[in-house]
Amino acid sequence: MTGHVPPPLRPPEARTTLPLAPTGEPPQLRADAARNRTRLLDAASRLLTECGAANLTMESVAAAAGVGKGTVFRRFGDRAGLLLALLDHREEQLQAAFLSGPPPLGPGAPAAERLHAFGPAVLRHERNQHPLILASRTDPLRNYTVPAHHLRLSHITMLLRRADVAGDPELLAHTLLGSIDTALVHHLTEERGIPLERLEEGWHHLVTRLGATR
């Protein structure tokens, strides 16, 4: 979840040494690269609060971090990649909460309960990050390939199965996630003036209707 290294560029490289830990890839950066990475993230996060997402240019981030523009792109691939990396840290907290946190969101509660708790948790988690999240959504398809989304999706799918909800679990999971998608939520709350509470009620109603009774 953590290391965004879009251009791994490492050739297929048939492993000669057996992997001690089953790490998919070694995201280990060279010392200077790792230092520049954190510098860039710090600079970006500072500029973000100072100037807003709209005024955050790749060049300004590079300048603020004291590195060249090319370095930013090499590390994060593109602008969306940088913004996604900024979101990543926060996302880990949410993930920890639903993967291993206390019930009803975390394990320990019945699947239906966890399902009910999931929507409000996401809504509240993203509540203050709408601008950044929206700014990271340039390509409408990219969202589906982001690791964070994948994790949420498989989590919901798993809960739907465990709760014995009828229907296609994968499609239902997509639909559920779609109903609390940031863009939609932002539109409903900001443009239409619908309070978050009503969205939470909507989530509960939907989950109930799909057959996950509390």
One residue of 12, 23, 25, 30 binding DNA per CB under 7 A: 30
Burial of 186 (0-12, 13-18, 19+ CB in 10 A): middle
Which residues 6-35 are close enough to bind a second copy by CB under 8 A? none
109 bridge partner residues:
107
Q: How far is CA 165 from CA 7, 70, 81, 107, 213, in A?
A: 40, 49, 35, 18, 10
Is there a contact between 36 and 71 (Cβ–Cβ < 8 Å)? yes
Sign of CA dihedral 24, 30, 33, 39: positive
Query: Which letter does DSSP use for residue 202 in this model?
Result: H
Binding mask 127-166 for DNA (x = CB under 7 A): -----------x----------------------------
Which one of DNA, a second copy, none is in contact with 71 (Cβ closer than 5 to 8 A by kind)?
A: DNA
Which residues 144-183 are close enough to bind a second copy by CB under 8 A? 144-145, 166-168, 170-172, 174-175, 178-179, 181-183
Which one of a second copy, DNA, none is in contact with 78 (Cβ closer than 5 to 8 A by kind)?
A: DNA
189 in contact with a second copy (CB under 8 A): no
Closest to DNA by CB, 5 vs 115, is 5
Closest to a second copy by CB, 49 vs 145, is 145
Closest to a second copy by CB, 65 vs 173, is 173
Which one of a second copy, DNA, none is in contact with 15 (Cβ closer than 5 to 8 A by kind)?
A: none
Residue 160 main-chain phi, psi, to 5 deg: -60, -40
Count H helices and E strands in the chain, helices first: 10, 0
CA 183, distance to chain mean position in Å, is: 14
Least separation in angstroms between residue 201's CB and a second copy is 7
Query: Which letter does DSSP use for residue 61 in this model?
Result: H
38 in contact with DNA (CB under 7 A): no
Of 83, 81, 171, 179, which is closest to residue 123 (Cα–Cα)? 179
Residues in the site for a second copy, rule: CB under 8 A? Answer: 134, 137-138, 140-141, 143-145, 166-168, 170-172, 174-175, 178-179, 181-184, 186-188, 191, 194, 198-199, 201-202, 205-206, 209-211
Q: Which residues bind DNA (CB under 7 A)?
A: 9-10, 29-33, 35-36, 55-59, 66-71, 73-75, 78-80, 138
